[in-house]
Structure 1
Amino acid sequence: MLMIIKKPLFIILLALCASPIIGAGTALIMGAAFAMLLGNPFAALSQKASKWLLKLAVVGLGFAVDFNQVIAVGKSSLVLTIVSITAIIGLGELLTQAFKLNRNTGVLISFGTAICGGSAIAAMAPVIKAKDHEVAVALGVVFMLNGLGLLLFPSIGHYFNLSQQQFGMWAALAIHDTSSVVGASATYGALALSIATTVKLTRAMWIIPYTALAGVYFRSEEKASIPVFIIGFVLAALINSYFPAYSSLWELINSAAKQLLVVTLFLIGSGLSVAVIKQAGFKPFLMAILLWIVVSGVILLLILDGLL
């Protein structure tokens, strides 16, 4: 009987998330609550669909971004990006040793924290020959922190009276996954969303050089490739920038992408389970939390002091 009720209820909630009445944060909470209380009746399908829908949503969001802004952000933040990514990975290595954590798990968590969460973890995993359970633990820990970031960051931003520009920068640099960065910034404002998306996806392009360096360090024959959704985002930004005559169409696509993101966040939330929490364990979660607190705290202080 419970299974019969669960399936239609899940579909109804998913349909609600496709409507404008449900926001990004609410969708994630709904999905997580449903999974924890009733269990996801479409777990495998939800996991597969969320990955593809997220990529489509990110590409669609590119239709609201000025390509010249992407280039400007990349140039202006070159030194900051290199220094911050390297520092985060270095700190992650120290914490991995301090907690006597599995090396591969520590590397994946550090890399995911430094660049862009799940995408960075997926790119690094084959390079360091990470095992399935190591990848699963890293993704589980990062996912849980993504949920916290999506819920906590807007409130913290309002508490410190951050402008939309400041919040967009902070969210992009301190929240792991692109999905949660977009979700948190979308609830803060349109300008915050634009800045956060641009900064985060510009940063995500650094997956390639850092995985290449890791390949040399770990003597791996695996080669990382740039995620296709990043290429799609850049192409969408190019189209938006150089074909302004069709701006109404680009706005329509962008609006659809925002709502698609809400649906995706519900599916991502529905992937949370007691099994994932147990598999992650205590040490990886504590290590990831300390790393995240230091990173987000330092970046917030730099923003408040006007250094970023």
Structure 2
Amino acid sequence: MGSNPPPAPANWLPKVVFGLLLVFCLTPWASPPVALALGLVLAQTVGNPFQAFTKKYTAKLLQYSVIGLGFGLNAHAAVQAGRQGLLFTVASIFGTLALGYVVGRWLKLGRVVTHLISCGTAICGGSAIAAVGPVVGAKDEEMSVALGTVFVLNAVALFAFPPIGHALAMTQQQFGLWCAIAIHDTSSVVGAAAAYGSEALGVATTIKLARALWIIPVALGTAYFFKQKDVKVKLPWFILGFIGAMLLNTYVPATRLVGPWLVQAARLGLVVTLFFIGAGLSLKTIKSVGPRPFALGVLLWLVISSVSLYVIVSV
């Protein structure tokens, strides 16, 4: 008789591990990078037992967390930060889209995948891809490849940016601006900036959300160039919520009594969001990207990161 196969792990084990890690993410010892790392470890070992749940609620949790962060910001300071980042935003968005088109053709990638990865890098990662995908009629596999590419690079950026910022002795203002320009998703932008300091967090959040509004003109331009008609582009509503929270904190004194509690809840929500994102990055997701789309994503990211860093540090 042959030997029996090893028993499968008890189906309760992944749920217990998930629960313990989630509870840890709500403690003061968990930071955004730590939460993302724990999610990645979970995904590569016992697996995420609540894949459908985390996928469904990650975006919503991030959006509510971003709104909560608005209660810790002053509108006047935010306007000043937005003005500073405007030129960087315009130049980097259109420069990235143009470079992506050229590199995509050189790599012989499909037009749709090239445009999705370029938009994700240029504007705000998964949100931009989700908005532009239906406009170009992207297939599920094309969406998966683009999302997988930016999610992997988001994880790398969250760990890499704070040490680079400290090594170069970047100010809070400089680092916040760099994060908003050079990191794809809002979640990783806020996570990296939060790890660097509260001032960097305010600058990064404000500029990144202003940058996210470019989803609308870019999606409309995409519809024109891809010759699509009757296109509906959704406004990122949570940005309006963030602005409203910031205005309340600035002009309604009573709001400041609860503002710190809301900001703290928002930061906890962000930590949990990054844990969910890490838990969704399975090895299968990473392998599905393929070398050429990943090469496009890496090249675009390295260019925008290095050029923006040089300009910010030099000015």
1:270-303 residue CA offsets vs partner (Å, 9 max, x unmatched): 0011111121111111110011001100000001
Query: Matched residue of 2:11: which SS?
Result: helix
2:283 paired with 1:283: no
Structure 1 residue corresponding to 2:97, chosen from 75, 89, 93 = 89
Matched-pair contact (CA < 8 Å) for 1:125–1:135:
yes
Q: Which residue is 1:16 aligned to?
A: 24
The answer to whether the Cα contact below 8 Å between 1:168 and 1:185 also exists between their aligned partners in 2 is yes
Question: What TM-score, normalized by structure 2, do the two folds share?
Answer: 0.94
The one-letter code matched in structure 2 to 1:305 is S
- Which deviates the most, 121-130 or 177-186? 121-130
Match of 1:239 among 236, 244, 248: 248
Rounded Cα–Cα distance in structure 1 between residues aligned with 2:253 and 2:110: 51
Amino acid at match of 1:146: N
Letter in 1 for 2:267: K
Paired AA for residue 184 in structure 2 = H
Deviations 1:94-114 (A, max 9, x none): 111111112111101101111
Give the alignment partner of residue 43 of structure 1, picking from 34, 48, 51.
Answer: 51
Q: Does 1:124 align with 2:132?
A: yes
Distance 2:84 2:176 in 1: 16
TM-align CA RMSD: 1.3
Aligned-partner SS, 2:108: coil
Query: Within the alignment, does 1:168 sit opposite 2:166 as a pair?
Result: no
How far the C-alpha of 1:76 sits from its partner, in A, is: 4.2
Whose radius of gyration is greater, 1 or 2?
2
Q: Which runs of 5+ in 1 are unaligned?
A: none
Pair 1:159 & 2:167 matched: yes
Residues 52-67 of structure 1 mapped to structure 2, 5 A cutoff = 52-67=60-75
CA displacement at 1:210 relative to structure 2: 1.4
* One-letter code aligned to 1:301: Y
In structure 1, distance between residues paired with 2:48 and 2:194: 26
Q: Is the 2:36–2:278 Cα contact (8 Å) retained in structure 1?
A: yes
Query: For 1:246 and 1:226, how far apart are their aligned partners in 2?
Result: 26
Return the letter of the residue paired with 1:166.
Answer: Q
Q: 1:292 aligns with which of 295, 298, 301?
A: 301
Contact 1:215 1:223 (8 Å CA) reproduced: no
Q: Normalization by structure 1: what TM-score?
A: 0.96
What's the CA shift string for 1:232-278, capped at 9, x where partnerless?
A: 11111111111123312011101110011101110110001111112
Q: CA deviation at 1:172?
A: 0.7
Distance between the aligned counterparts of 1:60 and 1:110, measured in 2?
29
Residue number in structure 2 paired with 1:28: 36
Q: Distance in 2 between the 1:28 and 1:78 partners?
A: 30
| Partner Cα separation in structure 2 for residue 75 and residue 12 of structure 1 | 43
- Post-superposition offset of 1:218: 1.4
Between the aligned residues of both structures, percent identity stands at 46
* Contact 1:20/1:259 (<8 A) preserved: no
- Which residue in the other structure is 1:180 paired with? 188
> Contact conserved, 1:67 with 1:238, CA < 8 A, in 2?
yes
Q: Which amino acid aligns with 2:204?
A: A
1:160-216 deviation per Cα after TM superposition (whole angstroms, max 9, x unaligned): 111111111101100000000000011101111111111111111111111111111
Amino acid at match of 1:137: V
Q: Is the 8 A contact 1:175 1:181 kept in 2?
A: yes
Secondary structure in 1 aligned to 2:184?
coil
One-letter amino acid matched to 1:292: W
